[in-house]
Every structure is written in C-alpha cells, then in structure tokens.
Chains A and B, each alone.
Chain A
Amino acid sequence: DGGITQSPKYLFRKEGQNVTLSCEQNLNHDAMYWYRQDPGQGLRLIYYSQIVNDFQKGDIAEGYSVSREKKESFPLTVTSAQKNPTAFYLCASSLRTGGAGNTEAFFGQGTRLTVV
C-alpha cells in the first residue's frame, strides 16, 4: 500500500541533544513538507522540498535542519539550538507544487517529541 511513514511515533530527548525524525513516502511525490503542531496553534511549516537535493525554509526553520538526498525520504533533525522542541511533528507529501488543480497533501501519523 502506498503511503507516508513517520518514525518513531514517540521520541524522548535530553536537552542539548540533536535528534532526527524519519519520514518516508512511496507515493512517488515530488514535494515533501515538515510541520510542527502545538496545542491551539494549528500547523506551522518548518521546511519543504520540491525536488531532490533542494529544500526551502518555512515559517519556523530556526533550530531545525533537513536533507533530501532521495525522493522518498525527507528526514528532519531537531538541533540543540531549537529552544522549545517539545511538540507533535507531521510530515506530508504531495504530487507537485504550483499551478491550479493541485493535488492534496498526504500526511504521516506524526511523531511526538518530548524533551526531558
């Protein structure tokens, strides 16, 4: 079955440590996205990528980094520079960007990161 997979579902990190969240899709989508969700604040865009080896900062990129070495994979690293990393992180993908009649985004099940 095609879909988008995030792992792990729950992640605990000590302060000062970097941690990487995995996102894999087998939908052959060009575009991938990372969002952060906090209670009462909706979803905020961290990074997005429209093509392999290219990515762009979103609204809240500080303290995060990404890579897009393969079309299927878009891992997110939460660095020690992120001041308040505890949140629910969602990865998404879509067929393409730009133009009218765009297809919808497909979402993973999320990773809940807790800093202890």
Chain B
Amino acid sequence: AQSVTQLDSHVSVSEGTPVLLRCNYSSSYSPSLFWYVQHPNKGLQLLLKYTSAATLVKGINGFEAEFKKSETSFHLTKPSAHMSDAAEYFCVGPPGGSYIPTFGRGTSLIVHP
C-alpha cells in the first residue's frame, strides 16, 4: 500500500535558522503530495502541493519542497524560521487507485527565540 512517512515527530530550531521537515513516500507511480500546517486547535491549511508539474514547489510563508523521485522524498524547507512557524506539519499523499488524503504522523516544529 502506498503511504507517506514523516521521519521526525519533533523538530526544534532557533529563530532565524533553516527548517527541514522530512517526508518519504511509497508509490508505484508519481503521486500527488501535499504539505499542510495546523496551528493549535485549528483546521489544516495547505502550504504547498506537488502534482508532477515541477519538482521544486514554492508555497506560502516562504516554505518550499522538492520532489525527488530517486529518493522518494518530499522534504519541506524554509531558509529562516519565524516564531509564528511553530505548529504541526503534515505530509499528505494519496494511496494508489483513489484519492483519499493519507496522512503522515505529523511533525511538531518548535521555534526557540
């Protein structure tokens, strides 16, 4: 079965330093992949999406992700963390055959002053 795996449950960075949140996928064909952000007690907001048009995807709030088929990865990055980036981040993909949003376990991003 296709799935997405977020490699880190927590990532801690200092304000102003780069952010890297890791996601690997398993799929027998090119998937659609998404990154969502969730602030406490809120719904999920789409950060960016990959749908096979371009491998480097730019999203909102300075985030971007690169689809690497050879590594089956879709890692989320940001050059400089802000305090407001502290939240839960989810990598989401579809299983094969139909699109039902399938979530990684989430990565909690902690930003220190």
Measured CB to CB, the residues of A under 8 A from B are: 6, 31, 33, 35, 40-43, 45, 48, 50, 58, 88, 90, 92, 94, 96-102, 104-110, 112
Give B70-94 as 1s and 0s: 1 = Cβ < 8 Å from A's Cβ atoms. Answer: 0000000000000000000010101
Of all chain B residues, which has the CB nearest A109? B43
- Is there an interface contact between A102 and B44, defined as CB atoms closer than 8 Å? no
Q: Which of A90, A100, A108 has most chain B Cβ within 10 Å?
A: A100
Partner of B51, one of A6, A101, A109: A101
Of all chain B residues, which has the CB nearest A48? B100
Q: What are the residues of chain A within 8 A of B100 when measuring CB–CB?
A: 33, 45, 48, 58, 97
Measured CB to CB, the residues of B under 8 A from A are: 9, 29-30, 32, 34, 36, 41-46, 49, 51-52, 90, 92, 94, 97-106
Q: What are 22 of the A-B contact pairs (CB < 8 Å)?
A: A31-B99, A33-B100, A42-B103, A43-B106, A45-B102, A58-B100, A90-B44, A97-B99, A97-B100, A98-B99, A99-B99, A100-B29, A101-B32, A101-B51, A104-B34, A104-B46, A106-B46, A107-B36, A107-B44, A107-B45, A109-B42, A110-B43
Partner of A42, one of B30, B52, B97, B104: B104
